[in-house]
């Protein structure tokens, strides 16, 4: 089904074309940026759009669709997708993801428009039929939004805050200049935001360390978290998160997702250096003994639509060996 049969698609409000003239207030304004879920700021006006709805930047960060869960106004440099019927939150996030995956169709010379976006083919709500619920995460991220979730599985026994330093040993890479390296066989992780953080394959510098698989790397510029599934070397603008105690691969995938949820905190002007990152606190499910509930996280991760393909392509042996870290 094409997306225009499920959503009304139109530009935002022309009243916010000159946003610099707005007075500071309490109403949320959504614009064309990819960070902070498209939030431009809080100003004095009467917000028009009731949640939930989807916004899509038509300039700037073109195609970076976001699900909006609070009443807001939307500037005319973004598109607004208003559901024609009541859909589950899971389904709205699927639609936003589908739009992001089609970003390659658009650029500054071929901007995304209501007409062009209207032709995007997506699954219907019945075809989607998600058995995965994000309710336990949603309630912590948006506790006062009042948006219902389609929870189907049991909730964990409890949720608990864990300082990142309680779970992981943090360290930086060991060299800086990539242009001085010789081509080789080691995946080399730097501060980029794509390709799992890998910028190429090089020989190990003399004093550099080869990090083992099962480490989460953090770009100091963008805050992007990547789970490394093979031994690698890293530049000094990457923060390595090595588990202090063995964790299942599914637990690491779960933690990686949580860390990427808060990467909006970082930018080139506020880089994710080790000193900033070590203040991070994540919320994890716990069992009746107040220990991390890895079985619950495994259920969540393995129920994701693409887990089987991920497991087949990247985990041919069913898992990766993760040695214990020295605290």
The count of other CB atoms within 10 Å of the CB of residue 244 is: 15
Kindly report, residue by residue over 124-157, the tens digit of the pLDDT.
888 886 445 554 444 544 444 554 544 445 577 8
Q: Which pLDDT score, from 0 to 100, does residue 325 have? A: 46
214 cis-preceded (ω within 30 degrees of 0): no
Average pLDDT over residues 10-15: 92
Alpha helices (runs of H) in the chain, residue ranges in sequence order? 89-101, 114-117, 125-128, 135-141, 164-167, 249-261, 274-277, 294-302, 307-314
CATH of domain 3-128: 3.90.220.20
CA distance 142 to 155: 17
Confidence of residue 327 (pLDDT cuts 50, 70, 90): very low
> Among 50-64, 221-235, 300-314, which stretch is predicted with the lowest mean pLDDT?
300-314
Domain pair 3-128 / 158-314, same fold: yes
- To the question of domain 158-314 being in CATH 3.90.220.20, the answer is yes
Domain boundaries, the chain: 3-128, 158-314
Percent of the chain beyond pLDDT 90? 51
Output the average pLDDT for the chain: 85
At residue 129, φ and ψ (nearest 5 deg) are 40, 55
Question: Which residue, 191, 199, 172, 216, is CA-closest to 268?
Answer: 191
At residue 151, φ and ψ (nearest 5 deg) are -70, 130
Confidence of residue 317 (pLDDT cuts 50, 70, 90): low
CA distance 80 to 57: 9
């Amino acid at each position: 089904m094409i997306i225009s049969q499920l959503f009304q698609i139109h530009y935002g409000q022309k009243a916010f074309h000159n946003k610099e003239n707005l007075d500071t207030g309490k109403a949320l304004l959504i614009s064309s940026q990819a960070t902070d879920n498209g939030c431009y700021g809080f100003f004095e006006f009467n917000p028009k759009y009731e949640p939930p709805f989807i916004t899509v930047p038509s300039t700037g960060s073109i195609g970076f669709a976001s699900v909006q869960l609070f009443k807001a106004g939307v500037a005319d440099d973004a598109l607004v997708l208003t559901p024609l019927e009541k859909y589950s939150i899971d389904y709205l996030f699927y639609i936003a993801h589908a739009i992001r995956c089609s970003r390659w169709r658009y650029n500054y010379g071929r901007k995304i428009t209501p007409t062009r976006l209207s032709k995007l083919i997506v699954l219907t709500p019945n075809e989607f039929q998600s058995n995965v619920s994000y309710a336990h995460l949603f309630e912590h991220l948006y506790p006062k939004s009042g948006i219902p979730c389609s929870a189907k599985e049991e909730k964990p026994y409890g949720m608990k805050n864990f300082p990142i330093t309680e779970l992981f040993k943090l360290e930086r890479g060991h060299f800086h200049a990539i242009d001085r390296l010789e081509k080789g066989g080691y995946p080399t992780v730097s501060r980029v935001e794509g390709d799992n953080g890998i910028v190429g394959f090089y020989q190990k510098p003399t004093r550099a360390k080869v990090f083992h698989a099962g480490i989460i790397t953090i770009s100091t510029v963008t805050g992007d978290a990547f789970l490394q599934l093979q031994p690698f070397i890293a530049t000094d603008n990457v923060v390595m998160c090595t588990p202090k105690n063995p964790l299942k691969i599914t637990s690491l995938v779960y933690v990686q997702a949580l860390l990427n949820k808060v990467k909006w905190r970082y930018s080139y002007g506020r880089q994710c250096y080790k000193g900033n990152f070590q203040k991070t606190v994540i919320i994890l499910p716990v069992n009746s003994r107040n220990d991390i509930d890895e079985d619950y996280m495994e259920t969540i991760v393995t129920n994701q639509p693409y887990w089987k393909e991920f497991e087949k392509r990247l985990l041919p042996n069913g898992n990766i060996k993760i040695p214990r870290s020295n605290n």
